[in-house]
Amino acid sequence: MSYIERQPIDRNFLSKDNFSAVFSNFPKMEYFIQSFEFPGVNVPALKQPSYLKGIDVHGSLIEYDDLSISFAINEDFSNYREIYNWLTKTGTPQNLKEFETPDNLDHCTLMITSNNKNTILKVRFDKIFPIALSSFTLDTTSEHNIVTATATFKFNSMTFDANI
């Protein structure tokens, strides 16, 4: 392979604010997302027994870290309540009608945009569900007027789509 062929096609760096995210279960959330923590991925090594010492070999199961978003809470709490209601349905439903089964899990699509704000990559997180919703503080002495909360999610798979 020649030196010219090894040169990157896109020399632009990813900017921290060039993204948007859409949750299939949270239509009121899209506009209010402040930050999106992209999850880490790992494949833990396995120990192969041997006479003197265990030998590390490549693992076979992929593991994803939690996905977290920080969002501004809107005035009527509708976006906060969307996540809270989903947690309630999966964690402590009041009756059988409220219960959400794992078959009803949805997806999230993270769209990475270029410096011209055109979508250049979509990352889809499948079978996503919330596991935590942070506390927040209402404070009259703060200089910031925006109240934010953090939602943490688990998901089963992540796929990249650059064919846009």
The answer to whether residue 146 sits within a structural domain is: yes
pLDDT higher than 70, residue 102: no
Q: How far apart are CA 59 and CA 44, in angstroms?
A: 5
pLDDT higher than 60, residue 99: yes
The answer to whether residue 115 sits within a structural domain is: yes
The answer to whether residue 101 sits within a structural domain is: yes
Domain count, the chain: 1
Structural domain that includes position 94? 19-40+64-161
pLDDT band of residue 111 (cuts 50, 70, 90) is very high
Domain of 27, CATH number, reads 2.30.110
The answer to whether residue 5 sits within a structural domain is: no
Element (H, E) at 134: none
| Residue whose tokens read 């969002």 | 71
pLDDT higher than 60, residue 140: yes
3-class DSSP state of 81:
helix
Q: Which of 28-32, 149-153, 158-162 has the lowest mean pLDDT?
A: 28-32
The answer to whether residue 144 sits within a structural domain is: yes
- pTM attached to this predicted model: 0.82
pLDDT higher than 90, residue 12: no
CA 81 to chain centroid, in Å, comes to 18
Q: Where are the beta strands (DSSP E) in 14-118?
A: 19-23, 33-37, 41-42, 46-48, 55-57, 63-64, 67-72, 106-113
Q: How far apart are CA 42 and CA 136, in angstroms?
A: 31
The answer to whether residue 127 sits within a structural domain is: yes
The answer to whether residue 133 sits within a structural domain is: yes
Over range 31-56, report the average pLDDT.
91
The answer to whether residue 46 sits within a structural domain is: no
Per residue in 44-93, pLDDT (tens digit) is 999 889 888 889 898 889 999 999 999 999 999 999 998 898 888 777 76
Cβ–Cβ < 8 Å for 108, 22: yes
